[in-house]
Chain A
Amino acid sequence: MRRGKYPFIIGFLIVPVALYCTFVVAAYLQTFQLSLSSWSGLGPIEYVGFDNFTKLWHDELFWKSIRHNIFLLVLLPIVTIILAMVFAFLLNVGGGHRGGTTRGVWGSKVYRVIFFFPQLLALAIVAVIFGRVFGPDKSGMLNGLFPESWKPWLFLADERYAMLCILIVLIWQAVGFYVVLFSAGMGSIPAEIYEAAALDGATRITLFFRITIPLLWNTVQVAWVYLGIAAFDAFALVNIMTVDRGGPNGASSVLSLMIYRNAFEFSQAGYASALGVVLFFLTLTFAALTLRVTRRDSVEA
């Protein structure tokens, strides 16, 4: 396979590489370039150095948005991974062992489909539905379920709970995917390991912490990165669901929403680009840190 491989390599890779150079590399370079300008989105481009970044440093909404992104970044992966782990474990190993095979709880196939279902609904639809779930008056789904005498909860219209509502929806949407992902990982753990541990007297809890989690560590790491990225984005939900888009009073604003609104609504393409640069570096830093911090010697399975 030595002679004449380069024609193939070049032929096969030229299209994707060209696409990436224009759509991603060049686009990012342009974002960096625009972040140094005061461009509105139309007309001539005027360069202003690092003015956008100083403005950003003093922008209260920017810091609020960062705080909200960090809130999601901490809670979304933790809660989702714990829930998905527990349920994947129940579905795969929860029924215990009998006759030499590991079983899931009764009906585990049905659960697997149900948990995956939200993954099929587009974020646009999910956002519309949950807008109704969290409706701030009696016609809202949750408020409708509460007793008649209760004052309606404001949910998204309450500054204190707006981000919590967003978090719940993100978890609802994501958890099924990770149940399936972890299930696949658990399925590939050899049954003999569980059996050996069981012979030694391990309970289900011990099996979970001493065997499942260490052997699934790589998958957890991948899940953590993906969920973190989702926490950095969250644009669709915040844009559609929240009061005044990111409100009330900036209580649910996130970076991606700020970028979009500055770029396409406030005619602040330069400022939006500066925010884009910040988002770029935050995401990369997060991914690199996660991969480094969670690195462990993998266990030979």
Chain B
Amino acid sequence: MVAVAPAVRRKRAKSTDDGVLTVGRSRAGTIAANTAGILFSVFMLFPVYWVLNTAFKPANEVLSLTPTLLPKDPTFDNFVSAFRAPLFLENMLNGVIVTLLAVAGALVVGFLAALSIARFKFYGRKAIILVVLVVQLIPFISLLIPLFLMLQQAKLTNSLIGVSITYLVLILPYTVWTLRGFISGIPRELDEAALIDGCSRAQVFWRIILPLTGPGLVATSVYGFIQAWNEFIIINTLNSPDKQNLMAWLLQNQTTRGTAWGPLMAGAIITSIPVVIFFLIIQRNIATGLTAGAVKG
């Protein structure tokens, strides 16, 4: 609110000499807006900066009572000791496997489900859409007990498969919802044209709709990746430490090692890198991906 306040005083739009319309462009307003933006950026970035700062500091500087803005002797020691820490590499590999399985599964299952919801009218279609929506809303934590019991019966606790399936279920609603938006955006005339040209219906799906849904598949897989990669409550509950992922590793180490902040923060950075890379890839399209599912009725 502060940021735009000075604009109030300007009751009317002014026409500049060259006849171009200029609105609310008081200099004070612009300065206030930029100040607010910068202050808020500092608030948003400070903790991230602190992680980086700590990760590159040698152990004696981390715990120093007079913290410095930048490491005096920047070092990669913390990263090395994170990699050498027990279970770090195993847990990283577990995370990769579980995430890839869940995302790949969710894409296949979700694409087909989205296809049938977007392209066919059938009895129970509305009910399925409603269920997809509702499932997204309920905190998963109230399902942990039955989930544990079910997977235990199926001998899938303490296994990567059990966690992968659970993650698949977790990211599926978003996948279906978003892909449905993308598929509804593809004109039906394309399907019909292809059918007239002699394509079978399966070919229409495979050759027309699948390629055109490409950006949607990328957006949803990145979202699914972030969800599955960052999850730790389920994997922590279902599996023993050697079958967990890096998030669970971080927490384990936070409690057991207490003050080894350097390696812990280095571990946090390593853990975040894949997500940051994926984010940078789709950064331009992120807004499209977020809203595509929401628009069409």
- Chain A interface (Cβ within 8 Å of chain B)? 1, 4-6, 8-9, 11-13, 15-17, 19-20, 22-24, 26-28, 30-31, 34, 41, 83, 86-87, 89-90, 94-100, 105-107, 111, 113-118, 120-126, 128-133, 138-139, 141, 144, 172, 175-176, 180-181, 183-185, 187-188, 195, 198-199, 201-205, 207-208, 218-219, 222, 225, 229, 232-233, 235-236, 240, 256, 259-260, 263-264, 269, 272-273, 275-277, 279-280, 283-284, 287
| Complex Cα spacing A49 to B282, Å | 52
**Interface members, chain B 245-263 (any A CB < 8 Å):** 247-248, 250-251, 254, 261
| Complex Cα spacing A225 to B235, Å | 27
Q: Which A residues are in CB contact (< 8 Å) with B7? A: 203-205
| Complex Cα spacing A259 to B146, Å | 13
Q: Which B residues are in CB contact (< 8 Å) with A107? A: 34, 37
- B44 interface neighbour in A30, A114, A219, A232, Cβ under 8 Å: A114
Q: Which B residues are in CB contact (< 8 Å) with A144? A: 67
Determine the residue in chain B with the shortest Cβ distance to A286: B137
- Band of interface residues on B: 35 or more
Query: Is the Cβ of A130 less than 8 Å from the Cβ of B23?
Result: no
Q: Which B residues are in CB contact (< 8 Å) with A111? A: 37, 41
Known pairs A16-B110, A27-B146, A202-B23 / 15 extra A-B pairs, C-beta < 8 Å: A11-B112, A23-B169, A30-B150, A106-B34, A122-B272, A131-B254, A181-B287, A198-B13, A202-B13, A203-B24, A236-B233, A240-B251, A279-B139, A283-B138, A283-B139
Query: Is the Cβ of B65 less than 8 Å from the Cβ of A185?
Result: no
Query: How far, in Å, is B6 (CB) from chain A's closest CB?
Result: 9
Specify the main secondary structure of chain A where it touches its partner: helix
Also in contact, A16 and B142, with CB within 8 A (given A87-B37, A90-B3, A229-B137): no
Task: Tell yes or no: B237 within 8 A of A by CB.
Answer: yes
Determine the residue in chain B with the shortest Cβ distance to A233: B139
